[in-house]
Amino acid sequence: MPASSRKPRRRGALRGAARAAQAREVLKRLLAQYPDAHCALDFQNPYQLLVATILSAQCTDKRVNMVTPALFKKYPNARALARARPEDVEALIKSTGFFRNKARSLVGMAQAVTEHHAGAIPDSMDALTHLPGVGRKTANVILGNAFDRNEGIVVDTHVTRLADRLGLSKAKSAEKIEAELMPLFPRERWTILSHLLIEHGRRVCDARKPRCAECVLADICPSATAGPPGLRGTA
């Protein structure tokens, strides 16, 4: 079996100064590697990003981007979506999966935004997480990408896996992982950090077949199954 296709071994989390130094180095290298990392969902305003993020549960961003143009054309704002018939929304979002639940969440969210926020998507963690279908992860996406506010770190499956493999957090819940990552990184980098880890998870640190031999973090990663390209075969 080639080294690059082996699953990384689980190692313990780094501690104290070593963990802080690891975080700094990971951020520095991933910023250099992915200078254009950004939110992969297409949106032009907070309403569109909130709708797209709700649709992205259990679905690829690419698929979401295929359905949202027609959805936004028919329902250009929260007030319009609040008046929608769920079955009409379902027909437009069917290919994203779980479409009945998602349609219910979308219309419920839009009704709450219309009723309690005069039709404007709120820009606080508290108000966002009180909307139907909006949890902390979704709220972090909206605050960081639509409002430029670093209130927290989006922890999805990629961030969870990379935080674990890189020794930054071995916690199991998204809340705990987020709480452990936040003090390790400058606040103004919290939003881009998620994009960087997600990008690296998609391109290199695959869940089943991480490409450690091509990874720019291989020499500092406690889970690497191969050394960095320049050092391989020199031992």
36 in active site: no
In the complex, minimum distance from the CB of residue 219 to ligand SF4, in angstroms, rounded to a whole number: 8
Q: Which residue in 206, 203, 209, 205 sits closest to 218, CA to CA?
A: 205
In the complex, minimum distance from the CB of residue 180 to ligand SF4, in angstroms, rounded to a whole number: 17
In the complex, minimum distance from the CB of residue 189 to ligand SF4, in angstroms, rounded to a whole number: 18
Task: Give me the catalytic one of 61, 156, 206, 219.
Answer: 156
156 in active site: yes
Q: How would you class 102 by CB atoms within 10 Å of its CB: exposed for 0-12, middle for 13-18, buried for 19 or more?
A: buried
Q: Which two tokens stand for residue 154?
A: 């989006």
In the complex, minimum distance from the CB of residue 198 to ligand SF4, in angstroms, rounded to a whole number: 13
Considering the complex, state which of residue 116 and residue 209 has its C-beta at the smaller distance from ligand SF4: 209
Q: Which residue in 177, 203, 202 sits closest to 190, CA to CA?
A: 177
Considering the complex, state which of residue 21 and residue 91 has its C-beta at the smaller distance from ligand SF4: 21
Considering the complex, state which of residue 33 and residue 129 has its C-beta at the smaller distance from ligand SF4: 33
In the chain, which ranges are continuous DSSP H helix?
16-33, 46-55, 61-74, 78-82, 86-93, 99-117, 125-129, 136-146, 157-165, 174-181, 190-203
Contacting residues toward ligand SF4, per CB under 6 A: 8, 165-166, 204-205, 210-212, 215, 217-218, 221, 223-224
Q: Which two tokens stand for residue 165?
A: 């493999």
In the complex, minimum distance from the CB of residue 46 to ligand SF4, in angstroms, rounded to a whole number: 33
Considering the complex, state which of residue 33 and residue 77 has its C-beta at the smaller distance from ligand SF4: 33
Considering the complex, state which of residue 81 and residue 204 has its C-beta at the smaller distance from ligand SF4: 204
Cα(137)–Cα(71) distance, rounded to whole angstroms?
23
Q: What angle do CA 173, 177, 183 make, to 5 degrees?
A: 155
Cα(189)–Cα(103) distance, rounded to whole angstroms?
33
Q: What angle do CA 199, 204, 205 make, to 5 degrees?
A: 90
Hey, which residues are catalytic here? Answer: 137, 156
